[in-house]
Amino acid sequence: RETGTPFDLSECVREPIHRLGGIQSYGALVALRADTIAVVSENASALLGPGAVPGARYWDPAQLDALRALADADAGQTAMMPVEVDGRWFDATVHRSDGLLVLEFEPAAAVTTPFTTFYAPIRSALVRLQTATTVVEAARAAVREVRAITGFDRVVAYRFESVDGPGEVIAEEVAEGEEPWLGLWFPATDIPPQARRLYERNWIRVIADVDDATVRLMPADPPLDLSLSVLRTVSPYHLEYLRNIGVASSMSVSLLSGGRLWGLIACHGRTPHTLGPQSRAACEFFGVALSLHLSALDEGDETVARERSRTVIARLIERIAEDLTNPAGFERVVDADAVVVRMDGRTSVHGRDPGPEALEALWAALPPTTAGEPWHSDRLGEDLPAMAPFTGAVDGALVLPLSDTGDLVVWLRRERTSPRRWAADPARPVVLGPHGERLTPRGSTAVFLATVRGRSAPWTPTDLAMAVELGRAIMQIVLAHTRRLSTLNT
Ligand code: BLA
């Protein structure tokens, strides 16, 4: 392939990052089926000492029982405990995978900070976080604390626009000399969907050294499912990405809202960096705390937005009853550039009329719908190829079918026009660089001021819910009209 040619992004999406068959070399992995070793990392006896693997002579069987109990107490999660093997201490993390008991060992730090020393600053940071009244304020408190705990050179809070969408740096703490990333947007492809699903299952991942030689697991086949592993080796694509931005180590903590990945606290180090289980647990704790607080703040915002829309619907009812086909005011229920009502084959448009050609094309291209169930797209030209010619004029649609015979309300949005500051060209997120197969660097040195073509602002869950509520109000009015008509006729 040549310099400047686009990279095949579907490779990223297909990579089975949970079954890459290796771990990072700072730890060792042993997976047991009953009492026999089923899978082992090549460095296990070097790291744990010969004969020190579970089940062997130097291994205290009581420890194994304790690890088993720990794994079963919290299925679907990892748990940690210190173990002594042949006179040396390790932090053991345990979980079940593919029917095996997976044990991961990391050499314990020579000196551990007592819990009480750790606890006081965490408690006061938690209070700061919980008293924050905006998402950004809470994110700021969290990144400050995570940087204090870990010593990483850059700690950012990164918020996704949608579950698989691009994201924005909303809070940041950096060491002196690091360029600021606050306010920058990063392309969606920087974190592929399967990685996001994985991050919804575990709170934290550490990449200790991007130049680390992966330690293979034996046997290699079938590759063990490492979804919950703390030592899991990392996608070579992502390592390349980190090298390109001058990062030697990284850690990220998931931020979840309603069970879905809302964002990440992403940390970068200029040098290799491992984190002890205490620091990791503390960071995880901040991830959980921030997630809970985010849900509360998000819900608060949504409640306010819904109340506002409901008031508008209540005021609109009378007008709708007089003139069922007039969509004026519907854009105050769900924000849009134009609203279209189609009833009994007649179409009325309010706002920026995209023209009959675009609407005819939309009616023809819409997938089959069910009354009361909204259909939506923020990229019509991609989702419905027949709409591609109208890119720039009609880019987003929220369709609410009122009947099964083609009556509907449609909210239309145009391309989002306010440019964002992108850390990489969102239209060409990856090109091969001058050194052959390299992902292009990101950063504020190469900011692209760009709007993504053919994308409208996304439709939020509140938008969908309010469309449905308005639809219900309209259908009730229609029903009342029909009843009155049939009484008049008899
Ligand atoms: C993973 N990509 C990640 C992660 C982050 C980013 C945070 C989680 C792993 C980690 O903690 O390092 C991206 N990091 C960012 C972004 C910011 C940041 C956006 O700091 C902004 C502030 N990445 C690509 C391309 C591919 C790709 C083209 O750019 C695919 C070819 C892949 N990224 C990729 C993969 C992972 C990843 C596979 C998962 C790594 C893993 O967990 O194994």
* Distant-in-sequence, close-in-space partners of 262: CB < 8 Å, separation ≥ 6: 159, 160, 255, 256, 291, 294
Question: Are 372 and 252 part of one and the same domain?
Answer: no
Which residue spans within 227-383 are E strands per DSSP? 249-257, 260-269, 338-343, 346-351, 375-377
Q: Which residues contact 210 (CB under 8 A, 6 or more apart)?
A: 234, 239, 242, 243, 247, 248, 249, 250
Please state at what angle helix 277-322 crosses helix 461-489, rounded to 10 degrees. 30
Structural domain contains residue 100:
yes
Q: What CATH code is carried by the domain that includes residue 210?
A: 3.30.450.40
228 lines ligand 1 (CB under 6 A): no
Whether residues 195 and 271 share a domain: the answer is yes
186 CB near ligand 1 (under 6 Å): yes
In which region does residue 137 sit, left (phi positive, over 0), alpha (psi from -120 to 50) or beta (all else)? alpha
At 467 the three-state DSSP class reads helix
CA geometry: angle 283, 209, 263, nearest 5 deg: 40
Question: Do 225 and 212 share a structural domain?
Answer: yes
CATH number at residue 84: 3.30.450.20
Amino acid in position 340: V
Closest CA to 393 of 362, 421, 348, 365: 362
| Closest ligand 1 atom, residue 430 Cα | 28
Q: Are residues 47 and 184 in the same domain?
A: no
Regarding the beta carbon of 158 and ligand 1, being less than 6 Å apart is answered yes
Q: Write down the ipTM of this complex.
A: 0.97
Cα–ligand 1 centroid distance for 292 (angstroms): 24
What pLDDT was estimated at residue 3? Answer: 46
- Residue nearest atom 24 of ligand 1, based on CA coordinates: 190
Tokens of 200: 């919804």
Backbone angles phi, psi at 399, to 5 degrees: -105, 125
Residue nearest to atom 9 of ligand 1 (CA): 252
| Domain membership flag for residue 177 | yes
Domains: count for the chain: 3
217 with 186, same domain: the answer is yes
Choose one of 107, 134, 160: the last residue of a domain: 107
Whether the CB of 191 sits within 6 Å of ligand 1: yes
Tell me, using a 6 A CB cutoff, whether residue 266 lines ligand 1.
Answer: yes
Measuring CA to CA, which residue among 169, 246, 239, 220 is closest to residue 24?
Answer: 239
| Cα separation, 174 vs 165, whole angstroms | 25
410 within a domain of the structure (yes/no) = yes
Range of the domain at 485: 323-416+453-489
Q: Find residue 85's DSSP bridge partners.
A: 88
Q: Is residue 315 part of a domain?
A: no
Which domain-ending residue is among 107, 132, 156? 107
Same domain, 14 and 34: no
Asked if 18 and 232 count as a contact pair (C-beta separation under 8 A), the reply is yes
Decide: 234 in ligand 1 pocket, CB within 6 A. yes
Tell me the C-alpha distance between 142 and 126, whole Å: 8
Distance 147 CA to ligand 1 centre (A): 19
DSSP string covering 274-303: ---HHHHHHHHHHHHHHHHHHHHHHHHHHH
HEC sequence for 405-421: CCCEEEEEECCCCCCEE
Instruction: Determine if ligand 1 sits within 6 Å of the CB of residue 237.
Output: yes
Residue 439 C-alpha to ligand 1 middle, in angstroms? Answer: 11
Q: Write the CATH number for 346.
A: 3.30.450.270
- Domain check: are 160 and 218 in the same one? yes
In short, whether 168's Cβ falls inside 6 Å of ligand 1 is no
> Is the CB of 192 within 6 Å of ligand 1?
yes
273 lines ligand 1 (CB under 6 A): no
- Are both 149 and 231 inside the same structural domain? yes
Specify whether 330 is located in the same domain as 251: no
Q: What is the pLDDT of residue 435?
A: 45
249 CB near ligand 1 (under 6 Å): no
Check pocket membership of 143 for ligand 1, CB cut-off 6 A.
no
The secondary structure element, H or E, covering residue 129 is helix 115-131
60 and 209, same domain (yes or no)? no
* CA-156 nearest atom, ligand 1: 22
Phi, psi of 395 (to 5 degrees): -120, -20
State how far the alpha carbon of 344 is from the alpha carbons of 118, 167, 320, 324, 470, in Å.
Answer: 68, 42, 16, 11, 18
| Domain assignment present for 125 | yes
Q: How many A from CA of 140 to the centre of ligand 1?
A: 22
* 409 within a domain of the structure (yes/no): yes
Mutation choice for ligand 1 from 191, 206, 422, CB with most ligand atoms inside 8 A: 191
How many angstroms separate the alpha carbon of residue 221 from the centre of ligand 1? 26
pLDDT at residue number 113: 72
Nearest ligand 1 atom to the CA of 205 is 11
Contacts of 280 (CB under 8 A, 6+ apart): 204, 206, 230
User: Of 236, 262, 297, which closes a domain?
Assistant: 297
pLDDT at 128: 86
What's residue 432's pLDDT? Answer: 56
Query: Is 238 a pocket residue for ligand 1 (Cβ < 6 Å)?
Result: yes
Is position 429 within any domain?
no
Per-residue pLDDT of the chain (490 residues; tens, 9 = 90+): 344 455 677 788 899 999 999 999 999 999 999 888 999 999 999 999 877 777 777 788 899 999 999 998 876 778 888 998 878 899 999 999 999 999 999 998 877 777 777 778 788 888 888 888 889 999 999 999 999 999 999 999 999 998 999 999 999 999 999 888 999 999 898 999 999 999 999 999 999 999 999 999 999 999 999 999 999 999 988 998 888 888 999 999 999 998 899 999 999 999 999 988 888 888 998 899 999 998 888 778 788 889 999 999 999 998 888 888 899 999 999 999 999 999 988 999 999 999 999 999 999 999 998 999 999 999 999 999 999 999 999 999 999 999 988 899 999 999 987 778 888 877 777 665 544 455 565 655 556 666 678 889 889 889 999 999 999 999 998 888 877 777 777 6
> For residue 184, what are the contacts with CB-CB under 8 A and spacing of at least 6?
168, 169, 421, 422, 423, 444, 447
What six digits make up the tokens of 250?
């990284």
Q: 212 alpha carbon to ligand 1 midpoint, in Å?
A: 17
Nearest to residue 77, comparing CAs of 207, 222, 227, 206?
A: 227
First to last CA, the chain: 77
Which among 190, 255, 284 is the best mutation to test ligand 1's pocket, defined by most ligand atoms within 8 Å of the CB?
190
**How far away, in angstroms, is 191 Cα from ligand 1 center?**
4
At position 220, the amino acid (one-letter code) is A
Residue 121 neighbours by CB under 8 Å, 6+ apart: 145, 148
Residue 422 lies in a domain: no
Q: Return the residue whose CA atom lies nearest to atom 31 of ligand 1.
A: 12
Ligand 1 contact, 241 CB (< 6 A)? yes
Instruction: For Cα atoms 58, 280, 286, give the angle at the middle one, nearest 5 degrees.
Output: 150
Q: From the CA of 190, how far away is ligand 1's center (Å)?
A: 5
Say whether 69 sits in a helix, a strand or coil. Answer: helix
Type of residue numbered 164? D
Give me the pLDDT at residue 148, please. Answer: 92
Q: Which of 232, 241, 245 to mutate to test the pocket of ligand 1 (most atoms within 8 A of CB)?
A: 241
Residues 257 and 358 occupy one common structural domain? no
Beta strands across the sheet bearing 28-33: 22-23, 215-218, 36-41, 28-33, 100-107, 88-97, 79-85
Cα of 312 from ligand 1 centre, angstroms: 42
Whether residue 96 is found in the same domain as residue 188: no
